[in-house]
Structure 1
Amino acid sequence: MSGIEIRNLWKEYGDQVVLQNVDLTIAPRAFIALVGPSGCGKTTFLRMLLGQETPTRGTITLDGAPLPHEPDPDRGVVFQRYSVFPHMTVLGNVMAGPELRASRFLGRTFGARRRAIADEARAMLAEVGLAGSEDKYPAQLSGGMQQRLALAQALMMKPKVLLLDEPFGALDPGIRSDIHRLMKRLWNEVPMTVVMVTHDLKEAFTLATRIIAFERTRDRPEERLRYGATITKDILIWPPRSAGKTTIWDADLLPGRDDPTIPGPIAGTTWPKEEPDADAYPPLR
């Protein structure tokens, strides 16, 4: 499981309060989108979930146990700037984490263990659409392909929690749409909880099961140091999304059809799921 509990969380840097009195329960397999204006502490909150920052006050627990104060394999992260090793091939990047975990001193495995890790890495690359690029270097990949590589690198460690810090903001709209579809599929197939920082509300409503808004409720110039941001809105997406399950909007779509504006069965009917004959619908007038 991968449930997260945040209780009475505060973060201060010297005299400046960044976050105050944050209480949040994140269910296992949830997809949480963190939104809010720049400077309201979203990335700081994500860094505390990762273990790069320590709360000034309050607690964070993962599956009932205190969150370790340093990053570990249970938490994967993908940043907006791709966190891949430029001197390694695509395959080498995805194998790096499991090899370091298996051989902490050498950072490299041999024989049957190395072949097993390589086979698993190739399968993961195929999952994210990078089959055939195993021997390329990151500089030879497009932006979208580098983002897929960063996702594969994080998922290869099988994290309980995947943290995303505006990972799709620099992508072109078409590539971004492809990555969104990939992210939906991976979230449905891989048992993990996802927490994503984004400034794009459309992206948040497209991917998330729940949207958490951070905001400074007291933001006058004389208040900005002593009052931090907190959760001001907690929005559950409707219809509810559950990992691995179909929503009511998807239930009546024909196989292979993802555009509900195309003439076809009306949602809520008992039309058969197979594609009907061309004469099944009257011509549009």
Structure 2
Amino acid sequence: MIEAKNVWKKYGDQVVLERINVSVQEGEFVTLVGASGCGKSTFLKMLLGTETPSEGELLMDGKQIRDEPDRDRGIVFQQYSVFPHMTVLENVMATKAFARKGLTGYLFGESRKAAREEALHMLEQVGLSQSRDKYPDALSGGMRQRLAIAQAFLAKPRILLLDEPFGALDPGIRLDMHALVLDLWKAYKMTVFMVTHDIKEGFYLGTRLWVFDKRRDDPHAPGRYGASITFDLPVGKIDHTTYQQIDDQLRPTPVPDPVFMEKQNA
């Protein structure tokens, strides 16, 4: 479904990504991990179409991915992308309205009735039925993220992009979100790409995990080389040594300052 052929992304002299060569089958759940600034979100933006490769090809069904978002691709950000002036139900119904052709996107008659029924069913799936008439500012962070997820899934994109969607949530709420996304992914059979900084989250949610990191580095010119995919692992088929190697790569153990240690031992 998705194929990257020698994809590079540069901003002037700054190389962000280099030599990305991967293919993804429809229905896979790919999690992307790596240090901050290593290009994970940039790759997600290229899949969405808001960024384009500087070199190489990024294909969907054998054709170049369109350089603008469309109905085939939906996204959920860490910050809740909901409309504050609309109720929970109106926010979800708006997803169906925006998908309509025409100048206004307004829903009328049977179309509005069908959209309302679909939205109510989705709100029941994400546990927001009792909050359908509330406005987003009356919801908790976890509830607003459920609302954003409901919007994304109701649009029924072929590809769902999640950019650290749970990073701002408390651990307990994150576990609830994990269960919700897995249930919806299985129900709607979408292809999912999710950026996360949490390696455990990446292994728990995904069917496949990518680690983004630089294979080469120049301390005198940090932007000379970009990140590539250093690990591409099927979830459930990883030994402890490899897991520890990835964890150390993402969270390197700090080297003690010899001056500080000498003072401590004095």
Q: TM-score range by the shorter chain?
A: 0.7 to 0.9
> How far off its partner does 1:222 sit?
2.0
The equivalent residue for 2:93 is 95
Task: Supply the distance in 1 between the matched residues of 2:106 and 2:62 (Cα, whole angstroms).
Answer: 34
Matched, 1:43 2:41: yes
Note the alpha carbon deviations across 1:39-89, whole angstroms, 9 max, x for none: 110010100001110110111111222211100111010000011111111
Determine the C-alpha separation between the residues in 2 that align with 1:125 and 1:16.
Answer: 43
- Opposite residue 200 of structure 2, the aligned amino acid is K
1:235 Cα deviation after fit = 1.1
Residue type of the alignment partner of 2:68 = E
2:143 match: 145
Structure 2 equivalent of residue 177 of structure 1: 175
Superposed displacement of residue 220, structure 1: 3.0
Deviation at 1:135, TM superposition (A): 0.9
Distance 1:223 1:211 in 2: 29
1:102 partner SS: coil
Could you tell me whether the CA contact under 8 Å between 2:218 and 2:224 is conserved in 1? no
Find the partner of 2:133 among 135, 145, 149: 135
Tell me what 1:28 maps to.
Answer: 26
Output the CA distance in 1 between the equivalents of 2:48 and 2:32. Answer: 15
What is the identity, as a one-letter code, of the residue corresponding to 1:7?
Answer: K
Runs of 4 or more, structure 1, over 6 Å off, are: none
2:187 to 186, 189, 194: 189
Of 165, 171, 174, the match for 1:167: 165
Amino acid paired to 1:70: E
Is residue 31–residue 193 contact of structure 1 (8 Å, CA) maintained in 2?
yes
Q: Is the 8 A contact 1:218 1:224 kept in 2?
A: no
Percent identity between the two aligned chains = 56
Aligned equivalents of 1:7, 1:237: Cα separation in 2? 23
* Cα distance in structure 2, aligned partners of 1:21 and 1:104: 41
Match of 1:237 among 224, 235, 238: 235
| Aligned with 1:86 (options 64, 71, 84) | 84
SS of equivalent residue, structure 1 residue 43: helix
**Cα distance between partner residues in 2 of 1:120 and 1:111:** 15
- Deviation per residue, 1:133-180 (Å, 9 max, x gap): 111111111111111100000111100000000000111111111110
> Which digits, 9 at most, give the CA deviation of each residue in 1:93-141, with x for residues without a partner?
1111211222531221111111111111111111111112111111111
How many angstroms apart in 2 are the aligned matches of 1:104 and 1:38?
40
Cα distance between partner residues in 1 of 2:215 and 2:143: 40
CA distance in 2, matches of 1:29, 1:181: 17
Question: Which residue number in structure 1 is paired with residue 4 of structure 2?
Answer: 6
1:65 aligned residue: 63
Q: 2:196 aligns with which of 194, 198, 202?
A: 198
- Partner of 1:238, secondary structure, is coil
SS in 1 for 2:21: strand
**Structure 2 SS opposite 1:221:** coil
- Asked if residue 119 in structure 1 is aligned to residue 109 in structure 2, the reply is no
Measure the CA separation in 2 of the matches of 1:89 and 1:65. Answer: 39
> Could you state the TM-score of these two structures normalised by the residue count of structure 1?
0.81
Secondary structure of 1:132's match?
Answer: helix
Is the CA contact (8 Å cut-off) linking 2:99 and 2:155 kept in structure 1? no
Select between 213-222 and 196-205 the one with higher mean Cα deviation: 213-222
Q: Measure, in 1, the Cα distance between the counterparts of 2:140 and 2:224.
A: 44
Q: Specify the SS of the correspondent of 2:18.
A: strand
Paired residues, what number? 238
**TM-score, with normalisation over the residues of structure 2?**
0.87
Residue 239 of structure 1 and its aligned partner are, at CA, apart by 5.9
1:232-271 per-residue CA deviation (whole Å, 9 max, x = no partner) reads 111111269xxxxxxxxxxxxxxxxxxxxxxxxxxxxxxx
